[in-house]
């Protein structure tokens, strides 16, 4: 028996080598997620080869790691290596900060070379060591694991993900510039698998992406298919089991809308979960641009605040941060806050990160603008400090980044899902300009019975094919039925939007009810026409948004305290500063080991904002919590 086991083990090892698998011995502190990230695979890939890891995972466990199907770009990492030390005798008035600038090292580097400086101050006459470094550049090149694939007619993201055995998220990670709606002829990066390993797709079938925590019972309710039926349609499913993100083949008549709306998620009040009341170190980086202001001139400061929108936004946001610290203090959470002026310059970001060690902070909020945020996130990536993008979309959601603004595609899908769940029988009409034809066609696929209208184009001359941004009013004759009519208006042109809104308002009479909505509330809905808000209210305009507006008629402790302190009502930026900061502090206080993993079924909600972070497969966290709001008697209210 013992000899048989040895032979079996040998055969298994040879089999692993033949398939070019790797093994990994788990170290203390490692998780399935961190190991998956290191090898550029998903946690599900590891668990599929190591099923025992679900219940028996810990240090010294040996895991089988499959080859990565993800990108093969060289990973360049720069690290510092001490080569020797320079002796320095401390002179009068010299400080650690001054020495760090003089020798181009950090204060912490000097302390590490002179450990007593962690507990003692620098004194005149001290002889200390100043480290000298050399920069070591290392490159890790992965095997060639991707290839180019040309999209065929009738293929969407789900069909391609199914064909190559990856999730839609992994396909998007391979193609960061991929459009929301892919077209035939588009060239995409896909796993470099053999042709005979590609799954065949059939236009006679539909494809569904499994959502987190979905089991066969929930799929039976949602799709009307039993476990046996799904396993018969998807060979290999019985062995692998359901995994979030996997794509299943289903009959063509099965609705396969992926829900990203958060109605299925509970709102959690973290004030009930406070367990860690240690002082939280928080950094906030905002573009005050103090280098441009004469602080001795009150008139100049006031003029700057009125004329500079970036400065005004930063000051409002900062006021909300301070209010959140007060609220947290009343809950027993103390905060050590440090504020940095980024001056809205990437060069200043480099200066800040060179003199400040952000690895000692529990969280960082900012910078506020996309360009400076991206630079800061890159500079502190190795510090592993959570960095929250408060008001802008980062270009890359790397491992330490929290994107607090939901993507536009999340908002669009939220609105689509909301309309689809309306139990009332309604006709759907889609109106779009020429630029927004792709989203109109996407909506047509979601609502096959919908009618599509497009703006007119120039028929002749040198401007042939140019968008005229109007629709003949006669086009609308007899279009709307008695009862409810839901209209998607897709445009960012103000004149086109204003004319269509006015026209729809005139047609919404008697027993014809027209409800207006859109997948993207652009400037087209913000006409200067004084009747615009009236028209939107009459049309019960619905849209998805990242935040709601607090009810000015209801009692609100935050608003009352803000007005008492600052003498005015808080702006949406002040409120966001309050909501985001308080949420971060409460998340830190509800966990004994930094920010908890955020992939759960709970959302947090405050004055105008709510947060539910989802971990990207190969990156950081994205907030997916949104609102549906509507115009109601000239006010904007949240829809329950």
Residues 525-546 pLDDT 10s: 987 777 888 999 999 999 999 9
Read off the pTM.
0.61
Same domain, 158 and 136: no
Q: Give residue for tokens 């065949």.
A: 200
What CATH number does residue 452 fall under? 3.40.50
Residue recorded with tokens 């009307």? 224
Say whether both 385 and 436 belong to one domain: no
Q: How much of the chain, in percent, has pLDDT values that exceed 70?
A: 83
Q: Are residues 297 and 364 located together in one domain of the fold?
A: yes
Task: Provide the pLDDT for residue 433.
Answer: 96
The yes-or-no verdict on residue 204 having pLDDT over 90 is no
Cα–Cα dist 129/105, whole Å: 12
Q: Does residue 177 carry a pLDDT above 90?
A: no
Tell me: pLDDT of 7 over 70.
no
Does pLDDT of 4 surpass 50?
no
- Say if residue 534 is in the same domain as residue 597: no
What pLDDT score does 374 carry? 94
Find the CATH number of the domain harbouring 58. Answer: 3.10.350.10
Indicate if 242 and 283 belong to the same structural domain: no
Residue at 636 is within a domain: no
If asked whether residues 415 and 541 sit together in one domain, one would say yes
In a domain, 470, yes or no: yes
Q: How large is the C-alpha radius of gyration of the chain? A: 29
**Average per-residue pLDDT in the chain?**
82
The reply to whether omega before 313 is within 30° of 0 (cis) is no
Assigned domain for 261 exists:
no
Determine the average pLDDT of the residues in 486-509. 94
Residues whose CB is less than 8 angstroms from the CB of residue 5 and which lie 6 or more positions away in sequence, other chains included: none
Structural domain includes residue 398: yes
Number of structural domains the chain divides into: 5
Amino acid 94: pLDDT: 87
pLDDT of residue 10: 40
Q: Are residues 443 and 540 in the same domain?
A: yes
Question: Which of 513, 545, 577 finishes a domain?
Answer: 545
Q: Which of 496, 511, 545 is the last residue of a domain?
A: 545
Q: What is the pLDDT of residue 301?
A: 55
In angstroms, the CA 548 to CA 616 distance is 25
On the question of pLDDT at 338 being above 70, the answer is yes
Whether residues 416 and 536 share a domain: the answer is yes
Residue 259 lies in a domain: no
Q: How far apart are the first and last CA of the chain?
A: 65
Cα 342 to its chain centre, rounded Å, is 23
Burial class (CB in 10 A: 0-12, 13-18, 19+), 73: exposed
**Confidence (pLDDT) at 2:** 42
- Residue 281 is part of a domain; what is its CATH number? 3.40.50.2300
pLDDT tens-digit profile of 602-629?
A: 789 999 999 999 887 678 899 999 999 9
Within-domain flag for 638: no
**93 and 173 both lie in a single domain:** no
Torsion from C-alpha of 589, 592, 596, 602, nearest 10 degrees: -60
Q: Do 435 and 395 have their domain in common?
A: no
Residues 385 and 348 in one domain: yes
Query: Which among 416, 438, 422, 403 is positioned nearest to 546, based on CA atoms?
Result: 403
Interval 28-50: pLDDT, tens? 878 887 787 677 777 777 877 88
Shared domain check, 482 and 417: yes
> Taking Cα atoms as reference points, which of 50, 26, 385 lies closest to residue 35?
26
Tokens of 451: 């009618």
**Residue 23 bridge partners (DSSP):** 64
Dihedral sign computed on CA atoms, order 149, 621, 255, 491: negative
Q: Does residue 266 belong to any structural domain of this protein?
A: no
Domain that holds residue 87: 75-140
Contact 188, 148 (CB under 8 A): yes
In this structure, are strands 401-403 and 621-623 parallel, antiparallel, or unpaired? parallel
Region 312-327: what's the mean pLDDT? Answer: 94
Task: For residue 165, count other CB atoms closer than 10 A to its CB.
Answer: 17
Q: Minimal CA–CA distance to 467: which of 457, 479, 482, 481? A: 457
| pLDDT at residue 557 in the model | 84
pLDDT at 9 over 60: no
pLDDT in tens, 90-128: 888 888 888 988 898 888 889 888 888 877 888 888 889
Domain annotation covers residue 269: no
Q: Which residues pair with 147 in a beta bridge?
A: 190
Encode pLDDT of 452-463 as tens digits: 999 999 988 888
The last residue of a domain, from among 92, 118, 140 = 140
């Amino acid at each position: 028996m013992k000899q048989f086991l040895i032979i079996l083990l040998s055969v298994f090892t040879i089999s692993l080598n033949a398939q070019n698998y790797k093994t990994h011995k788990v170290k203390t502190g490692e998780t399935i997620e961190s190991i998956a990230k290191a090898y550029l695979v998903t946690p599900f890939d590891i668990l599929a080869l190591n099923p025992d890891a679900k219940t028996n995972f810990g240090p010294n466990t040996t895991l089988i790691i499959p080859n990565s199907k993800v990108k093969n770009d060289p990973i360049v990492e720069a690290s510092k290596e001490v080569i020797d030390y320079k002796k320095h005798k401390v002179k009068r008035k010299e400080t650690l900060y001054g020495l760090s600038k003089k020798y181009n090292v950090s204060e912490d580097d000097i302390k590490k070379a002179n450990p007593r400086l962690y507990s003692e101050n620098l004194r005149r006459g001290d002889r200390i060591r100043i480290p000298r470094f050399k920069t070591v550049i290392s490159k890790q090149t992965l095997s060639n694991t991707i290839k180019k694939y040309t999209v065929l007619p009738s293929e969407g993201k789900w069909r391609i993900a199914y064909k190559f055995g990856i999730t839609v998220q992994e396909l998007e990670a391979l193609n960061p510039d991929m459009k929301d709606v892919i077209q035939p002829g588009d060239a995409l990066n896909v796993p470099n698998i053999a042709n005979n390993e590609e799954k065949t797709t059939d236009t006679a079938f539909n494809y569904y992406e499994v959502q987190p925590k979905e089991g066969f019972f929930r799929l039976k309710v949602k799709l009307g298919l039993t476990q046996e039926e799904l396993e018969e349609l998807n060979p290999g499913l019985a062995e692998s089991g359901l995994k979030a993100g996997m794509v299943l083949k289903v009959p063509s008549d099965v609705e396969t809308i992926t829900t990203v709306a958060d109605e299925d998620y509970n709102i959690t009040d973290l004030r009930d979960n406070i367990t860690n009341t240690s002082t939280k170190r928080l950094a906030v980086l905002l573009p005050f641009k103090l280098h441009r202001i004469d602080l001795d001139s009150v008139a100049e400061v006031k003029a700057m605040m009125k004329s500079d929108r970036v400065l005004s936004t930063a000051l409002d946001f900062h006021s909300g941060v301070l209010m959140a610290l007060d609220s947290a203090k009343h809950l027993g959470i103390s905060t050590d806050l440090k504020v940095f002026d980024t001056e809205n310059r990437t060069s200043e970001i480099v200066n800040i990160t060179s003199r400040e060690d952000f690895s000692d902070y529990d969280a960082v909020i900012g910078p506020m603008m996309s360009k400076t945020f991206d630079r800061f996130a890159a500079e502190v990536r190795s510090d592993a400090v959570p960095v929250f993008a408060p008001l802008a979309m980062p270009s890359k959601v790397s491992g330490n980044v929290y994107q607090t603004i939901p993507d536009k595609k999340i908002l669009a899908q939220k609105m689509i899902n909301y309309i689809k769940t309306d139990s009332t029988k309604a006709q759907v009409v889609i109106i779009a300009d020429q630029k927004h034809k792709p989203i109109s066609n996407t909506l047509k696929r979601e609502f096959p019975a919908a009618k599509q209208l497009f703006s007119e184009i120039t028929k002749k001359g040198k401007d042939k094919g140019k968008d005229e941004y109007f629709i003949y009013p006669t086009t609308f004759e007899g279009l709307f039925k008695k009862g409810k009519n839901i209209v998607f208006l897709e445009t960012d042109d103000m004149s086109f939007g204003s004319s269509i809104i006015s026209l729809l308002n005139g047609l919404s009479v008697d027993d014809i009810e027209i409800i207006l909505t859109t997948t993207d509330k652009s400037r087209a809905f913000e006409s200067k026409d004084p009747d615009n808000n009236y028209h939107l209210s009459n049309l019960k305009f619905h849209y998805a948004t990242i935040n709601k507006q607090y009810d000015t008629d209801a009692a609100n402790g935050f608003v009352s305290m803000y007005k008492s302190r600052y003498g005015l009502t808080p702006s949406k930026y002040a409120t966001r500063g309050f909501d985001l900061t308080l949420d971060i502090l409460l998340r830190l206080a509800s966990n004994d080991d930094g920010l908890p993993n955020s992939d759960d079924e709970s959302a947090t909600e405050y004055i105008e904002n709510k947060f539910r972070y989802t971990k990207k497969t190969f990156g950081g966290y994205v907030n997916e919590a949104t609102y549906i709001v509507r115009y109601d008697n000239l006010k904007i209210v949240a829809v329950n």
